[in-house]
Amino acid sequence: MQNSPLSSDRLDRLARVAVQVGLNLQPGQDLVLTAPLASAPLVRRIAAEAYKAGAGLVTPLFADEEVTLARYRHGQDAAFDRAPDWLYRGMAEAYGAGAARMAIVGDNPMLLAGQDPGKVSRATRANATAYKPALEKIANFDINWTVLAWPGLAWAQQVFPDLPEAAAQEALADAIFAASRIDGDDPVADWAAHSARLAERSAWLNGHRFAALHFTGPGTDLTVGLADGHEWHGGASTARNGISCNPNLPTEEVFTTPHALRVDGHVSATKPLSHQGSLIEGIRVRFEAGRIVEAQASRGQEVLQKLIGTDEGARRLGEVALVPHSSPIAQSGLLFYNTLFDENAASHIALGQCYSKCFVGGAGLTPEQIAAQGGNSSLIHVDWMIGSGQVDVDGLTAGGDRVPVMRAGEWA
């Protein structure tokens, strides 16, 4: 197994990057970690790296696909309107006391595809409601947090359906490790250089202070007004606790907050969206005054409608992000069925909750001030891809000038 993509050496490198680059975990800081049960080999290495970095307590919380399916197959109907709020209150309390947050993804993206969509929607809403106190600590960037991936077997078979099980898992591992930039001689230094490049893009956009972005391409003519006092971010960012971290491993995006009332036009998705165990394809929506007034999908229409019906904020945007078509994930040609990766293959927008850190002085703004500046509030935050090699982006200034930002999916 010395040269296997799942070898100890590569897992050790990913764990080191997750702790040092993703979290920048500080001495004495606790860590709350959620992960699929199958990812235990990686979790153990992360725990070791965290304790080497001086962690206080590392608390892993595991999820199991078979337990999840048992709920849908045998659970009482009323139970789908409930969630473990006691657990999420505890997580919120931990974050309030200074704990860092790490999430490992890797479950089967189609796990719930054969289950009752009504029950899936109810359970998701109940979970989002109960999780909100903890999610706010993350969305408001109160703490240092990061998300990374484990090559789950069922996920691998979804991405590489023509390969045998073991070969599919190794192929997905290769793709994850490459996208996560751990294969160089010094992954930590490589990440520092990558973050610096993203910071340069953010600084250029912040220097222009665009009032809006205009996306044009096949099936797309969309003007995304930007929130008052918005601020672009990319790569490493400093949380309110003063710790600089990389929330997503991998990441290729620079992103900011749209104005919830100033989005107009129509847009077509350029990649499928994997959501709640279903694949939503051919998404086409139309915005008026920031709100989705028409929404269609060639596949997964019912799931799309339930998604945007979560609450009023689910029909408005909480994020807009720019990603070049030449990003390594886009050039891999893979559909990962996982937003952590697919969102880094193309420019995208997100329905739902905004990030308070994407405002100048956001750490000192109240929720009411954020809303007054155009920030959106919702129980959800769901990214979907609208960029490609055929999409142009222009920045529109308050004075009406038009500045090329992207041409044919590349930085102009």
For residue range 351-381, list pLDDT tens digits in order: 999 988 899 988 788 999 999 999 999 989 9
Q: Would residue 192 count as lying in a domain?
A: no
Whether residues 272 and 216 fall in one domain:
yes
Taking 80 as the threshold, does the pLDDT of residue 276 lie above it? Answer: no
Q: What is the mean pLDDT of residues 175-189?
A: 92
Whether residues 319 and 281 fall in one domain:
yes
Q: Which two tokens stand for residue 376?
A: 């959106």
Whether residues 320 and 405 fall in one domain:
yes
Whether residues 130 and 261 fall in one domain:
no
Taking 50 as the threshold, does the pLDDT of residue 304 lie above it? Answer: yes
Please, what is the average pLDDT of the chain?
A: 94
At residue 363, the pLDDT reads 77
Whether residues 13 and 55 fall in one domain:
yes
CATH number of residue 163's parent domain: 3.40.1830.10
Whether residues 64 and 110 fall in one domain:
yes
Whether residues 144 and 212 fall in one domain:
no
The C-alpha atoms of residue 303 and residue 300 are separated, in whole angstroms, by: 5
Whether residues 289 and 337 fall in one domain:
yes
Whether residues 288 and 360 fall in one domain:
yes
**Residue range(s) defining the domain that contains residue 77:** 8-179
At residue 193, the pLDDT reads 94
Q: At what angle do helices 165-179 and 8-17 cross, to 10 degrees?
A: 40
Q: Would residue 297 count as lying in a domain?
A: yes
Q: Would residue 20 count as lying in a domain?
A: yes
The larger pLDDT score, comparing residue 213 to residue 340, is at 213
Q: Would residue 1 count as lying in a domain?
A: no
Whether the Cβ atoms of residue 354 and residue 257 lie closer than 8 Å to each other: yes
Report CA dihedral (334, 339, 345, 349) to the nearest 10 degrees. 140
Residue of 283, 275, 336 whose CA lies nearest to 111 = 275
> Number of folded domains in the chain?
2
b (16+ CB within 10 A) / e for 27-61: eebbbbbbbbebbeebbebbbbbbeebebbebebe
Whether residues 288 and 159 fall in one domain:
no
Q: Would residue 198 count as lying in a domain?
A: no
**Amino acid residing at 149:** A
Q: pLDDT for 25-57, tens place per residue? A: 999 999 999 999 999 999 999 999 999 999 999
Number of neighbours of residue 386 by Cβ within 10 angstroms: 26
DSSP-derived letter for residue 210 is -
Domain boundary at 160, 179, 198, which?
179
Taking 70 as the threshold, does the pLDDT of residue 1 lie above it? Answer: no
Q: pLDDT for 337-349, tens place per residue? A: 998 899 899 999 9
Q: Would residue 356 count as lying in a domain?
A: yes
Q: Would residue 386 count as lying in a domain?
A: yes
Instruction: Please name the residues in contact with 400: beta carbons below 8 A apart, sequence gap of 6 or more.
Output: none
Whether residues 33 and 149 fall in one domain:
yes
Q: Which two tokens stand for residue 271?
A: 């990649």
Whether residues 114 and 73 fall in one domain:
yes
